[in-house]
Amino acid sequence: MLKARTLAPGVQYLKDPDSRIRRATADRLRETFSGWSYQELVLPILDYAQSFHLALGAGAEERMYSFVDRDGSLLALRPDITTLVAKAVAADSPANLPLRFWYGGEVFRYENPKAGQQREFYQAGIELIGSDSLDSEIEVLLILVEALQRCGLESIIIPLGHAEFFNGIVEALNLSEEAGWSLKNLVDHKDSWGIGRMISGLDIPPSKRDFIQELPRLAGGREILDRAEPMIQNPRSRQALERLAAIFEQLSALGAAQHFLIDLAEVRNLDYYTGLIFKVYSKSLGFEIGSGGRYDTLIGKFGNARPAVGFSVGLERLRVALSAEAPREDAVEKQADFQSALQLRRQNRKIRMEQTS
């Protein structure tokens, strides 16, 4: 078949200088992660499809490369690495918490290639497991900023949201499951007009109407928290606002606030995230470079429950956003005979053999 000569859809050959840029970027991330005492966790490239269903929820199967094992069980190439970290730590009962892990590797998602990201792409990230403290969130955000800065990314924009803000609103409005789902979909698209149409058909007091109408516009700087505060009565949403305010306060005190925004209308993956949610953008790219947040219920699905917070960054996206020049190569000494080549190699010098063909 001619397919033997054709590149399969969704994968790529990464050649120099792109491969060298990606390697250098991965090195900068690893240096940052180990600089904060995160340990590398190497995870399997495939697992039971069931694990990913459990973690990622309905709809995950459409985005997975799954196949049948010889014993008939359904396996999948990993569409996500956090799931595997959660599964790996759920079995242990470590004496000392929190645990700090970093990982880097290929993930596979059946999606259309966009912004340098094929169906096979490279993610690196960290997970801080066993703490639900404010400090654990600050730590993860500071590491994210440092890692991207070390890679040379100039514009770093990280909108912060909170899963409980929206959950609290849906609960307080006493919406049906279907109405809650519709509202979430509209908020996800920041569809003010659609929300206006939806709530005109619902039995909601006028005072709350204005606020729901306002939801998609609750994105911007720190001032958004103050704008939202008087509109919110339910305790879940209020706690979410207080938490975000505390995070912002600490980031300001540390001189890092300039990279952060607020987006209270961030509602993606609310089955997965339980608290802080964030995305990473840069002015140089129209797509998100990374994302993360707090996921306190995920590990419990696999065994011992433990709170956790983390993020992942897509290296292809990061490479496109950096549009970086390849790192300079060390000087090369051309060698014609192996005797002197070996001598130079013992001194750790870079050589290239001049082969006569």
Partner 1 sequence: MIVLALPRGRVLDASVAFLAACGMQVPPEIHATRRLQLESGDGACRFILVKPVDVPTYVEYGVADAGICGTDVLWEQSPDVHQPLDLQFGRCRMVLAGKPGTPARSATRIATKYPRTAERFFRERGVAVEVIPLSGSVELAPALGLAELIIDLVETGNTLRDNGLVVIEEILQCSARLIINRASFHTRQQEIARLLDSMEKQLSW
Query: Which residues of the shown chain bind partner 1 in the complex (CB under 8 A)?
Result: 114-115, 155, 157, 159, 189-194, 196, 216-217, 219-221, 261, 263, 279, 281-283, 285-288
- Rounded to the nearest 10°, the torsion over CA 24, 32, 84, 89 is 150
The least distance separating partner 1 from the CB of residue 198, rounded to whole angstroms, comes to: 13
The helix (H) or strand (E) run that includes residue 273 is none
| Shortest distance (Å) from residue 145 CB to partner 1 | 15
CB of residue 235 to partner 1, shortest distance in Å: 28
**Which residue, 51 or 282, has its beta carbon nearer to partner 1?**
282
* CA–CA distance, 335 with 139 (Å, rounded to integer): 49
Place of tokens 């993606």: 268
Residue 124, classified by CB atoms within 10 Å of its CB into exposed (0-12), middle (13-18) or buried (19+), is buried
Nearest residue (CB) to partner 1, 127 versus 263: 263
Q: Between residues 182 and 234, which has the closer beta carbon with respect to partner 1?
A: 182
Please, what is the minimum distance in Å from the beta carbon of residue 344 to partner 1? 48
- Residue among 35 and 221 whose Cβ is closer to partner 1: 221
- Residue with smaller CB distance to partner 1, 101 or 248: 248
Cβ 172 to partner 1 shortest distance, Å: 24
Give the amino acid at 44.
Answer: P
Give the separation between CA 292 and CA 264, rounded to whole angstroms. 15
DSSP assignments along 47-104, one per residue: EEHHHHHHHH-TTGGGG--EEE-TTS-EEEE-S-SHHHHHHHHHS---SS--EEEEEE
